[in-house]
A and B are shown apart, each in its own frame.
Chain A
């Protein structure tokens, strides 16, 4: 019995790992994707092309411009056009600072001065960040000027909010991203591989041979799922290791919890793969269905976008989505050391989802035999 299972799983693994391209896909791609997320994708807004429209002798606005370029967030934008709107329209600049008529220095002396900022709003994320950066730069430049002028009047009373960021003080993108990306990588891989392997047997007609062989149904199911579970379990330390070595992502909690959660989670995704395969006749269908399921599972999980602002219907989906719990648990254990209550809650949710999915897929599988 165990021998049958062992042989079965071995056949499956050999079949998958035989293909060189498959090995690349399994072991190189996840690391490449991780690097992409770590190095290339950040929510920071850099290299914004900024230009100014001001009289030549206007000192303060040129100071602001120099501060902005010096901050590293902005780069100077050259343009032959004089109209600030036209500069943005032509794509020469992303933002333009416009001094009031007559110059900012004179306006400051009159009091209540304003600087206008024109921003290309077609990228909402960028536009908002540009405004936030520049308003900070403008405020500090104005404060410096005011301090120089009115040292005698003393500083204006003000409320001082100090901000401290816990768990990831440098707002390091890989630290943000890695737990979510780990969840994403194993999800796609296990769902697609499992459903494809079953669909391939159906497509080639070898499925009939399998059923006719002296193998029990549960042996068949286990034999088809264990290899992909194993592959998933190999990927997790691979990706986590790369994250720790290349990006210094912290591991603050116990790793056995991560392993246990990963195991439970993979049971859920592998079952889902089997379930998908029961609806498909060939590999093409299995792949498309896998990708179709994968996308909403990722978007509606809180990895990239906040869940609490979604409409109720979509939020309901996030509560039955195993990715939500796995990503939350990973993030909590890796970055915060693991809060016992939260870990228990997420583990329980993962187990319940895995149990339900396994039950449904086993029933569907036996029914379609």
Chain B
């Protein structure tokens, strides 16, 4: 049996046409396919600022001298903090539990006099530890501020004997958009393809239309290929949308090879479409399909892929777990394609792993599909 015989292209194309019509007729599916990537790019691209910026900090200035005001100015001019005065001696616990300020800066009386005498005046910073989005930003900002304040305010301060000069490769200004937006390709493609396939194929089972399809001379493999083709097109459309938004809207560079990136998209999408198929064939119900695709598609592609939370920091078990999902490998391909030149062949491993996963998941889905048909 040759390949052309195995997949009757005509029959598959007919199924694909039917499925495409399904999609086009259903405004919600189409809206989801277009609105979903747009919304993600809009929200993640515009709303999320990973830099510490304009963090409200209450200042209890017990000294009220030129030096103490200079210290507050160091905070203000850093851009990370938005200091505003409160009465000295206010209850710190109360200030922070009112949720208006994320930190309190306490300058003790005698600050200037101590400085002039060459002592070590105490400055205290109390940080609200309940909000992780602010706390880590504040803490990493303070180190730099301390050195700067030293040089500015302390009379007779010696320059530090050793300086660390940092160069950030691939993203010199540490622009958070360069980090977030390439990752969106993974998130959007992953969620869209697994959800759409799981839902549509499950609907076919639930309404009994699948039995009718199977009773026609169309082969199971034709059905699968035909059904998945339109969703593949939708997925690629979503990636194209993100690509355009990234390059034009946010000025993200693309330094790698477009061909390799496309190949990565293809491999990733096949794995998730096959997973969606597997889910819907196994569950045959919309409700369960949705839950399963949430668990297999949504969570791994957002939480375990390294999109926001670095994989390298996870405990060994979860690092291994994240490696079992295609999203993590495609994330590497995506980020490297946008930011690195990708010339050194370190993408070989992600590509090989993705290809291997494709074969495994496809085989599993096909097997399940076949055994399901024979009662």
Contacts and interface: CB of A to CB of B under 8 A. Distances in A.
Contacts of A89: 169, 340-341, 343-344, 346
Interface stretch (B57-65, B118-126, B214-222): B118-126
Contact of B149 (A146, A159, A310, A311): A159
A159 B313 contact: no
Contacts of A114: 162-165
Contacts of B260: none
- B interface, how many residues as a size bin? 35 or more
A37 B315 CA distance: 12
Interface in A292-309: 292, 295-296, 299-300, 302, 304-306, 308-309
Interface residues of A, number: 113
B339 interface: yes
B313 A117 contact: no
Contacts of B142: 161, 163
Interface in B59-115: 71, 92-94, 96-99, 115
Given A120-B169, A163-B127, A167-B128, A90 B154 contact: no
B310 A45 contact: yes
A58 interface: no
Given A119-B167, A138-B164, A163-B125, A311 B135 contact: no
A33 B295 CA distance: 9
B179 interface: yes
B179 A124 contact: yes
Contacts of A342: 97-99
A313 to B, nearest CB: 9
Contact of A122 (B287, B288, B339): B339
Contacts of A124: 50, 171, 174-176, 178-179
Interface string A69-84: 0000000000000000
A260 interface: no
Contacts of A43: 132, 136, 309
Nearest to B158: A156
A319 to B, nearest CB: 14
B174 A166 contact: no
Contact of B165 (A45, A115, A163): A115
B135 to A, nearest CB: 6
Contacts of B176: 124
B129 interface: yes
23 contacts: A36-B304, A40-B309, A41-B314, A60-B162, A86-B344, A108-B161, A122-B178, A132-B143, A135-B166, A139-B147, A158-B120, A159-B154, A163-B127, A165-B129, A284-B203, A288-B29, A288-B32, A288-B195, A306-B137, A335-B130, A336-B96, A338-B97, A339-B99
Interface of B: 28-29, 32, 35-36, 39-40, 43-44, 46-51, 53-56, 71, 92-94, 96-99, 115, 118-137, 139-140, 142-147, 149-150, 153-172, 174-176, 178-179, 195, 199-200, 203, 283, 286-288, 290-291, 295, 299, 303-304, 306, 308-310, 312-315, 318, 321, 335-336, 339-341, 343-344, 346
Interface of A: 19, 21-22, 25, 29, 33, 36-37, 39-48, 60, 85-86, 88-91, 94, 104, 108, 111-129, 131-132, 134-136, 138-139, 141-143, 145-146, 156-169, 171, 173, 175-177, 192, 196, 280, 282-285, 287-289, 291-292, 295-296, 299-300, 302, 304-306, 308-311, 314, 328, 331-332, 335-339, 341-342
